[in-house]
A and B are shown apart, each in its own frame.
Chain A
Amino acid sequence: MASHLSYGRVNLNILREAARKELREFLDKCAGSKAIVWDEYLTGPFGLIAQYSLLKEHEVEKMFTLKPGRLPVADVKNIIFFVRPRLELMDIIAENVVSEDRQRSPRDLHILFVPRRSLLCEQRLKERGVLASFINIDEYILDLIPYDGDLLSMESESAFRECYLENDQTSLYHTAKGLMTLQALYGTIPQIFGKGESARHVANMMLRMKREFAGSQNQILPVFDTLLLLDRNVDLLTPLATQLTYEGLIDEIYGITNGYVKLPPEKFSQKKQGEGGKDLPTEPKKLQLNSAEELYAEIRDKNFNAVGAVLSKKAKIISAAFEERHNAKTVGEIKQFVSQLPHMQAARSSLANHTSIAELIKDITTSEAFFDNLTVEQEFMTGVDTDKVNSYIEDCIAQKDPLIKILRLVCMQSVCNNGLKQKVLDHYKREILQTYGYEHILTLSNLEKTGLLKPQIGTRNNYPTIRKTLKLWMEDVNEQNPNDISYVYSGFAPLSVRLAQLLARPGWRSIEEVLKMLPGPHFEERQQLPSGLHKKRQQGENRTTLVFFLGGVTYAEIAALRFLSQMEEGGTEYVIATTKLINGTSWIKSLMDKLEAPPF
């Protein structure tokens, strides 16, 4: 089921297998039949590690969602709670346990904390008088979850908010821990580069942790040559822009969660002959998206404008393949045709799905609203009129477009102008507060604290210099047959990926001046390898770099790095890791102060 994890340069299935092994070991510790009570949030990430069949093999007979009240009936020996270390969950567990005692048949209780146990949660259980009821309290360390053959995520939703708004470095600690686990499985990474305060902090923690374990040398031949740690706040611009790759647009429009997307069902209704139009599904269609699907792997990272051509080509191939049946005359030929049928069917249904998705997306990308929005984004990115109040933004506010859309644009203008003139900023603020409610002053204040929105103070606008030096805007972008990463935003090259690209060749020394304009220190560290583990590189063998985005990464950035991996003269292949897969909307949302739902 997870074969796609092992196709990449680095076999990430090893990580998944390690996680599965730990899970099995834990389950076997609770001998006998068992029921798992799930913190619902965890089912998504766990789904990427194990299927129900694995749990079943280890005598898991029932599974429930954690809810207040009494536990459902289940004739099992063990009840295991799989939960995040959160106090409100402890209260629910306590309620469950207290009601449980009233029942006659006693069941053994266990807790598995994911990703770490917490002193405070256990304290809370003790306060509630239920701690002693648990036979086993354990933790299941799940920091980096393999999402695809070249992609790892911690799926820590609020990591950016915590790091850059609240100065809470807990997620950085988990990042460092996750990187240590990774090194235990894939060998010590000899070179560490980084840019940004958080990057520096993570590198420091890693070096310290390594010193602590100095006793036991890691004897695994290093798989990664380089680790690049990048702070999200080094490049605040990229996630604000609308992603224009196929996968990026799916995420922008429908949102991808734990590798799944939910789509409006209308386009997917499979009407069979004779069934007519009845029973149209009303539930959203849920699809899994990863590189295990051949067609998706081919089109996910393309600019959306290049997707249509591929789909139509595939359609012709498949049609032709099905036509082959007329040519199959001999028994052998027919047999061969039949043997291919399952794959042809899979290919056909994959094509049908993606044709439908592409149609859904096309309806949006060809709309006037999408075009206008994109035009303004591109004006900002190229530095047009970033110092004035933008009339499109004003219009959007007047039409009460979604607040997040407005905030994305205003923040983008601010970033592209190295801060807004006080008068312009005040005008936007006033319009936003008047139209969407004064309480959003809290959100605006958060955006200012993270630097996404700021007044221009004296300093010169250095964005044009950064743009020109790093070639962030490419005029003659080729969407169909790209020759530069800027195709992922139809002209704009993500700054973060440019930094990775320039690090590989010719090296950061060439851009010292620009690096100084970007926030936070840049640095290089080396980790000593035991003798004998130094890699002897074959001529022409590519280097492998792990790029870790602290605070989130977009699908378009991932696409850009994959593009670099595939470049023939590139010489570097990338594996990507992050605290969270984000897009502009989910990112800004994480910075909004949770407001109560309006009364109606």
Chain B
Amino acid sequence: MIRSKLDEDEYWNSSKFKAFTFDDEDDEFSRLKESKQAVNSIRGLVEEEEDEDDVEKVTWSGEPVGSISWSIKETASSSRAAGEIRDQGFPKIDTTPSLPKQGSNYSLSSFFKVRGKSGSSQSFSDNWSDSTTRMFAPELRKPKSEYKDYVSDWSPEETVRRMHRGKPYSLEKFRCLKDKLLLLDKAVDSHDGNVITAVLIFLKRSLSKEEILFRELVSRQIALQHFIHFLKEMGEQKLLLELFKSLGRTEDMAFLQYKDHLNIKDEVQRQEYLKNCISLPFSADDASHVQDHYTLLERQIIIEVNDKHMEKAGQMGIFKKYPRKASILNMPIITTLYYSCFYHYGEAEGTYSSPANIKKTFKISEKQYLLTALGARAKQKAWSDVDSLFTTKNWLGYTKKRAPIGFHRVADILQKNNAPIQVLQEYVRLVDDPEMKLGLAQKYKCHDVIIDTYKDLKDRQQLMLYRCKVDRGSPEEKKIDDILSNTQVRWKN
């Protein structure tokens, strides 16, 4: 590549253009087209010769031929095929999803991703010997003091250093609490999470009571964090909760317990679990959200059982006409409200599944409610329901149209649900801002609204222009002609 790079340099430099000159008048993006065309026209000139020596070979997926991931596929595919015949008893091999790619490769947390048996760690020393060769640049990572290997009575400092370098060591001789804590402090000083955690496991196992360890960790924040991580990754939930409790970190404790609901598959068990979570020491706000979460799942279970039954029985036409695509369990509340507006619209407020009840129970804002109900009713083409959503009566009995979400949003949602032009234009007409109204009317081709708006604006020229756009002999054209010939209108132009 070096050679070609140089040549390229020469090539570009020899041209008269400088990288930073530009013409102001040009629209940048029309140039994209230009360059595209140029590229395409050149394409025909020269046949592809990807096998040129200095051109990197690339497979279609763009992987340079010879890259590691490419080679894995290449070398593996040949032998895999042979292996498959023999491995028929293990179809698992090919179907297992590949390893998790997420997550750091470096973190402390990554050391213990899987639940392990607690207390099973013994001294690591027995399996460690200096025969495991290491390959550091010596002056980088091995200070000279490290070479006295076979002294048996190591100080805490030396022990930590040996652990750090992967040499044999023994922790068993640290018997009294003071020595153990000194060892821990030295481990913390080394900053090596690997070593700190190993010492913590030793302490956890060798101290008679956990409270002693907890108490000492309070004044050792770094060790404490490593310990919390260790417990989290090993799945030692109970001990972790005790630790949080003794530290007074009640909210952490609450969140930790709440998070566990995600691992419960069965919805009834999950609901029970969430019920217990309500009394956890959350902040007032969070507690109310957890309460809502519980109530929601409770409702969903009732609705699901009921609707499943109804659907099977085939009594309600709505389920026949629009078969349910999925269960409503564990869906967010807004989705649940949509479902309710779709299948249970108009039910009395007393039923759990009625939109009114859901809106009230979960304190859904008027805006959110209107948007959701509108979407659901429009989907079913229930235009009269749509109409009543935005109709208000005043005390004299006159009706008036009102939309807290703005009529432009109403029109947008209706259009997305393929509302007929008659319905659509009724709402476009209600948009306050004339410019926005015109824009929407043009977008949705509501001729009537456009014509009337120009008339209201007394804009004769626009109206005449628009006349050219409508079909010859159409009712729209006639309407425009009528207005233009109306001598009552005082045109502004």
Contact = CB atoms under 8 A, between A and B. Distances in A.
Q: Is chain B a partner of chain A in the same complex?
A: yes
Contacts of B46: 322, 341, 344-345, 348
A232 to B, nearest CB: 15
B121 interface: yes
A441 B289 contact: yes
B47 to A, nearest CB: 9
A127 interface: yes
A429 interface: yes
B135 interface: yes
Contacts of B22: 306, 309, 480-481
B324 to A, nearest CB: 12
Contacts of A558: none
Contact of B222 (A115, A169, A431): A169
Q: Which of B29, B30, B86, B124 has the most CB of A within 10 A?
A: B29
Contacts of B225: 166-169
Given A69-B92, A205-B191, A312 B8 contact: no
24 contacts: A43-B68, A51-B68, A63-B71, A65-B99, A70-B87, A70-B90, A84-B105, A85-B105, A87-B116, A88-B99, A116-B194, A138-B135, A168-B109, A170-B106, A171-B104, A171-B106, A213-B139, A294-B5, A315-B37, A319-B41, A342-B52, A426-B285, A435-B332, A481-B20
Contacts of A352: 39, 43
A318 B38 contact: yes
A157 B140 CA distance: 27
The 6 tightest CB contacts between A and B, nearest first, are: A286-B62, A312-B31, A308-B28, A315-B35, A315-B38, A52-B71
Given A73-B86, A215-B144, A342-B55, A439 B334 contact: no
Given A308-B29, A343-B8, A438-B289, A158 B332 contact: no
Contacts of A122: 124, 127
Interface in A120-174: 120-124, 126-127, 131-132, 136-139, 141, 154-159, 162, 166-171, 173-174
B96 to A, nearest CB: 6
A118 B61 contact: no
Is the contact region of chain B dominated by helix, strand, or loop, or is it mixed? helix
Nearest to B76: A64
Contacts of A331: none
Interface string A162-202: 10001111110110100011001000000000000000000
B334 A157 contact: no
Given A343-B7, A343-B8, A441 B140 contact: no
A268 to B, nearest CB: 9
B326 interface: yes
A89 interface: yes
Interface stretch (B77-85, B339-347, B390-398, B463-471): B77-85
Given A44-B69, A73-B86, A88-B114, A308 B32 contact: yes
A317 B229 CA distance: 58
Contacts of B100: 41, 88
Q: Which of B42, B197, B290 has the most CB of A within 10 A?
A: B42
Contacts of A138: 132-135
A72 interface: yes
Q: Which of A120, A162, A311 has the most CB of B within 10 A?
A: A120
A115 B106 CA distance: 7
A3 B8 CA distance: 14
Interface stretch (A532-540, A569-577, A591-599): A591-599
A334 interface: no
A25 interface: yes
A119 B198 contact: yes
A283 B60 CA distance: 8
Interface stretch (A355-363, A378-386, A459-467): A355-363
B82 A67 contact: no
A126 B106 CA distance: 22
A507 interface: no
